[in-house]
A and B are shown apart, each in its own frame.
Chain A
Amino acid sequence: MSQSKNPILEMRSIVKEFPGVKALDGVTFDLFAGEFHSLVGENGAGKSTLMKTLSGVYPFGTYGGDIVIDDEIRQFKTIRDSEKAGVAIIFQELSLVKELTVGENIFLGKEPSKFGVINWSELYQKASKLLKDLHLPIDPRTPVGNLGIGQQQLVEIAKALSQDAKILVLDEPTAALTESEVETLFEILRELKARGVGMIYISHKLDEVFEMSDRITVLRDGKTVGTNDAKDLTKDKVISLMVGREVGDIFPQTSHEFGETALEVRHISTFDPDNPNKKLVNNVSFSVKKGEVLGISGLMGAGRSELLMSIFGAWQGKTEGEVLVGGQPVSIKSPSEAIKYGIGFVTEDRKRFGLLLEQTIVDNMSLAGLKKISGAFITHRSRETVAAREKMQSLRVKANSPLTVAGTLSGGNQQKVVLGKWLLINPKVLFLDEPTRGIDVGAKQEIYSEINKLAKEGLAIVMVSSELPEVLGLSDRVLVLHEGKLTGEFTKSEATPEKVMAAATATN
């Protein structure tokens, strides 16, 4: 790269605040034409937020700092504005309309037309040329839904190029791809690079990052830790930059006493319902004892939630493997069976999977154990209210009354309501999936001490978390998943951020 040339993109001291959180704290980033620049960091380091400021998802005025493209400060109000300036983003979740054809998708909203009448032959001709340029053997008249995930990803890229993108942002583009599909993608990216397209590549897969990158920028806690030429870095160096943070002392130092094995799973495999050949969890076995906190670490898409969902009987695709509760083999085909065996599951994304937002705290807390708490057929409000109020007090839920509507509570209190719901079934095993995501520090600390208390009382806890300090601070043992496989197991004394991150990125 010639240093004399100006970068095509400069992001100067970008600051983005959400209520209570500084997601970006003065991030600086630049990109040259024809450069492949990777952006890495832990989950929640600020990578996606940074790209959302670039693309206008967070419009000008809602962030601080300057975005400079071609030596001009840009003020994007919408995604359309950034597209006009040559920025194209390919998000993790594909944004294609499955029912429309490849050609229709590529030109969606920009169809060649006269007086609103689409010129179909021109559209398909152009689409076909674009696909040919990318060496994609795809008929532009094929409905996108008929293509595999890998080819859909390539259609996304074709769509980006139809807008003459000069800056292409790829957010975890290989998460859903097989190895050969990844190779095809990389070949195309190399060709685009040669054509002078600048690429920002977000990935957790350090092998890929090192294979492709000219430069690597590491983000941590919303700050730039460093930007270096890839050839001056090693994977170990990148990992230490990613995690370089003290595990604070907000974690109560306690030692748990273990009892007998509460839950054991053997050879669990889970298949992607959209792509039945892809294993999201691949032959994972583990066990957890009474009174033990087992942490499951891994990067986004490693298959952690899918593993818990499968054991809980809630996975809507194919699963394989054995589950033993208290030493007895059991067959769990639905959440109600899991509950019967004493397994509770505080799911991730409380608004989507956890709460009835329009209903009261009582309605929410009593839901999983309703027949036990309230009555087999006729409900008894007072019994439920008593049970819910007791849990509200022990979990310190801040609300005026048990009849407060759940949707009006703060995130931390909502999370406690979900936790309370599962404690009310008197579980023997409790799954926690991202138990502190998106809640403030005070509530986090309260949930941490609750987890410790529950373990002391003899509950077996399996906790999935993307926050490394949380996993290391609370767990007696840490399992690490990478692309569905178990790649590491550490006791509390062995586990260091570097070791866990190395296992999570499958780096030796």
Chain B
Amino acid sequence: MSETVEKSGFKIETSALRAYTMLGALILIWLFFHWQTGGTFLSSGNLSNLMLQTSVTGILAVGMLMLIIAGQIDLSVGSVLALAGGVAAISLTNWGYGLIPSILLAIAVGVFIGLIHGILTAYGKIPAFIVTLGGLLAWRGAIKGVSRSETVAVADQTFKTFGQGNLTIASGWFLAGLAILAILFLAYRRAKSQKDYGLGEADYKGEMVKTILPIIGIVAFAYAMNSSNGIPLPVLIFVIVAIFGVFITNSTTFGRYLYAIGGNTDAARLSGINTRLNILKVYMLLGVLTGIAAIVFTARQGSATPDAGGLKELEAIAACVIGGASLMGGRGTVFGACLGALIMASLDNGMSLLNIRDFVQEIIKGSILVSAVGLDMIGRKN
């Protein structure tokens, strides 16, 4: 293991290094597809599409990551997504509830299921794998029952906006500007607190240099999205969820407890942490995010189908693992999980553009997942 260096956003240098490696891998994948597709892949239209494809898995991956950090797992999010989305659609179309109640209902379904999973694993001591494997079957059954195995179309235009709408060009640039200001402000505050707490001189210059790359990223992102139809609303929701996830894992006591519980449950317990309550909370938090993902997904499809979201749980887990999370717990970053989701979506998108046949796509994705973790293991040993 290497020495650590103060780095914003990342816990330790090794994880920062991993993030850069992954960023490099992503760029290579993008360049490869761009070259192979004769310039289609990195066109603004396709990038917009790619980000859209990432958003649902990305939202789920943020919640999954927090669970995985605490040493848990949830195999049922795909089924819960179908149930929450289905309930929202039925509520809107069949029961005639308004937009807000229907959205809250979807989130409530996610939270309630999280509560059940959390109680059974943390207090009932049934392994998370079993509880959520049961959930995978049971919640899928529940949506088939509620919807009588029929597709429920959504007519509400406002609801559909959450999946199909775009920000106007102007508001896109406005948000991008806001994000840049926030980054600059955070860098300034970091440098200042360094001095305020007597940890050394305020290194304003150094902190500002570190903001260059993120700012370029934001500008490029806003430019690409705005050259198409503007920033898609699902992408905005994903970005907000990701920022929320970074905040929880890096800047709250709850987030720190998750790392401690996953890293060494005994030590966490003996340090006065209520390990079971925190595990319950993280299941419920994943429930909230699954509810949000369900709304975006259903709105984008324009209808709820009982078999929606199949395999989404595995995509979310794969995104976390590609992003450097350890299924043993205690290790992983939200940033990594989001990159992982983007890598998975890029493979999907690029291979589809190249008309690679379905079965080959699946084999390639599976192989990449295993080799990403394999390479990580080798890197860790050295």
Contacts and interface: CB of A to CB of B under 8 A. Distances in A.
Interface in B210-266: 251-257, 259-260, 263-264, 266
A377 B253 contact: yes
A386 B264 contact: no
Contacts, number: 104
Nearest to A375: B253
Given A382-B199, A386-B198, A345 B253 contact: no
Given A386-B197, A405-B1, A407-B1, A353 B266 contact: yes
A379 B199 contact: no
A379 B270 contact: no
A225 interface: no
Nearest to B247: A378
A363 interface: yes
A200 interface: no
Given A374-B253, A376-B253, A403-B12, A356 B259 contact: yes
B267 A358 contact: no
A385 B271 contact: no
Contact of A400 (B3, B193, B252, B253): B3
Given A382-B193, A382-B197, A401-B4, A335 B267 contact: no
Contacts of B11: 359-360
Nearest to B255: A379
A367 B260 contact: yes
Contacts of A376: 253
A353 B271 CA distance: 9
A370 to B, nearest CB: 5
Contacts of B4: 360, 401, 403-405
A151 B36 CA distance: 70
Interface in A328-375: 334-336, 338-339, 345, 347, 352-360, 363, 366-368, 370-371, 374-375
Contacts of A195: none
A342 B330 CA distance: 28
A339 B271 CA distance: 8
Given A336-B274, A356-B264, A382 B196 contact: yes
A357 B12 CA distance: 13
Interface in B1-37: 1, 3-6, 11-12
A367 B194 contact: no
A403 B266 contact: no
Nearest to B4: A403
B180 interface: no
A178 interface: no
A367 B271 contact: yes
B169 interface: no
Contacts of A334: 272, 274
Nearest to B257: A370
A377 B260 contact: no
A386 B199 contact: yes
A354 B270 CA distance: 8
A376 B251 CA distance: 11
A314 interface: yes
B263 A356 contact: yes
B128 interface: no
A377 B267 contact: no
B253 A403 contact: no
A98 interface: no
Contacts of B271: 335, 367-368, 421
B273 interface: yes
B365 interface: no
A385 B197 contact: yes
A383 interface: yes
A408 interface: yes
A377 B252 contact: yes
A403 B6 contact: yes
Contacts of B3: 400-401, 404
A174 B158 CA distance: 74
A355 B259 CA distance: 12
B267 A353 contact: yes
A222 to B, nearest CB: 31
Contacts of A377: 252-254
B199 A363 contact: no
A378 B251 contact: yes
A334 B271 CA distance: 10
Given A382-B197, A382-B199, A403 B5 contact: yes
A460 B60 CA distance: 49
Contact of B272 (A338, A347, A357, A386): A338
B195 to A, nearest CB: 10
A353 B265 CA distance: 8
B331 interface: yes
Given A356-B267, A383-B197, A378 B273 contact: no
A382 B194 contact: yes
A405 B256 CA distance: 15
A345 B269 CA distance: 12
Nearest to A371: B253
B183 interface: no
B271 to A, nearest CB: 4
The interface centre, meaning the residue of A356, A379, A383, A403 with most chain B CB atoms within 10 A of its CB, is A356
Given A335-B271, A379-B253, A385 B199 contact: yes
Contacts of A359: 11, 259-260, 263, 330
Interface in B181-217: 193-194, 196-199
B116 interface: no
A363 B259 contact: yes
A386 B200 CA distance: 11
Contacts of A385: 197, 199
B268 interface: yes
Nearest to A345: B270
Interface in A369-416: 370-371, 374-379, 382-383, 385-386, 389, 400-401, 403-405, 407-408
A336 B263 CA distance: 19
Contact of B252 (A358, A378, A404, A421): A378
B277 to A, nearest CB: 10
Contacts of B199: 382, 385-386, 389
Contacts of A408: 1
A210 to B, nearest CB: 39
B285 to A, nearest CB: 14
B252 A379 contact: yes
Nearest to A313: B272
23 contacts: A314-B270, A334-B274, A335-B269, A339-B272, A354-B267, A356-B267, A356-B330, A359-B11, A363-B259, A367-B260, A377-B252, A377-B254, A378-B251, A379-B255, A382-B193, A382-B196, A382-B199, A386-B199, A389-B199, A403-B6, A404-B3, A405-B1, A408-B1
Given A335-B272, A336-B274, A403-B6, 9 more contacts: A312-B270, A352-B264, A354-B267, A358-B330, A359-B11, A367-B273, A371-B253, A375-B253, A385-B197
Interface of B: 1, 3-6, 11-12, 193-194, 196-199, 251-257, 259-260, 263-264, 266-274, 330-331
Interface of A: 312, 314, 334-336, 338-339, 345, 347, 352-360, 363, 366-368, 370-371, 374-379, 382-383, 385-386, 389, 400-401, 403-405, 407-408, 421
